Amino acid sequence: MAELEKSTDVVAKAKARKNLAPKIVTVLDTTPTDVLQWANEGRELVFEADEEFLELPTEVYKALSLKSKTRYDIARAHTEGNNPVSDATPEAWNLPFNQRPDEANRQLAVKGLDPSKDYQWGRIDKLGTHKAEEWEVDHDPKVRTEYQESCNYKTLGGQNQPEGILLSRLKTISEKKRKERKSIRDGQVQKTQNSYRKAVESAGVKPIVSPGNS
């Protein structure tokens, strides 16, 4: 009877945990006591890295769930400048994480930009299209990402293969492209207006075109 009650209590607690919102742990507004309380409540925990990483005492770390411990270990390794994924595979971790477990805005951040150039992240499978627009793979050693990638092939990681690559082109080329696109749009508008005039005039009606579009 006691075993049945214990089993029922475990199931009830497991169901209750599913309804608990996960907590983000930072050094700014969290204490180890908070983490211990959330762990005992069965909450999933997400640990911020770098300046906001909160080092936990051993007894608090032991109270974490397996998933929360894994997230903690990844954040700690990242804070220490290591890449925990380079020494393991997704299968070994049993987690579908990207090559770099970090926030999107940090992955996209690029430093040391040349003021005479425009930059964008492009899809590798669309590289031919990008080159047709005069974008080139950026090889400037002064331009780097948060991950100290310089010179060749600054990429966005994902599922053990790059998903995006940094492209650049002179701003003069970008301006030329904008003018070309505007010329094409203006031509399309003029063509539409001419067709409209012909259709209306053929019906014996005076066409009306908005000011600035004539």
Taking only the tens place, the pLDDT of each residue in 16-39 is: 555 677 888 888 788 999 999 999
Residue 112 DSSP label = S
pLDDT of residue 4: 47
Supply the Cα-derived Rg of the chain in whole angstroms.
28
Question: Is 178 within a domain?
Answer: no
Domain check: are 69 and 148 in the same one?
Answer: no
Number of domains in the chain: 2
What's at 148, amino acid-wise? Answer: Q
Domain check: are 89 and 124 in the same one?
Answer: no
Helix (H, G, I), strand (E, B) or coil at 180: helix
pLDDT of residue 94: 42
Confidence of residue 178 (pLDDT cuts 50, 70, 90): confident
Domain check: are 66 and 135 in the same one?
Answer: no
Overall pTM > 0.75: no
pLDDT of residue 181: 82
Helix (H, G, I), strand (E, B) or coil at 165: strand
Across residues 51-65, what is the average pLDDT? 89
Question: Is 185 within a domain?
Answer: no
Q: What is the pLDDT of residues 119-150, one digit of tens each?
A: 998 887 788 888 888 999 888 888 888 766 65
| 79 vs 86, residue with greater confidence | 79
Residue-range definition of the domain harbouring residue 65: 2-97
Q: Are 88 and 132 spatial neighbours (Cβ–Cβ below 8 Å)?
A: no
Domain check: are 122 and 163 in the same one?
Answer: yes
Among the three residues 141, 156, 172, which one is the final residue of a domain in this structure?
172
Domain check: are 124 and 164 in the same one?
Answer: yes
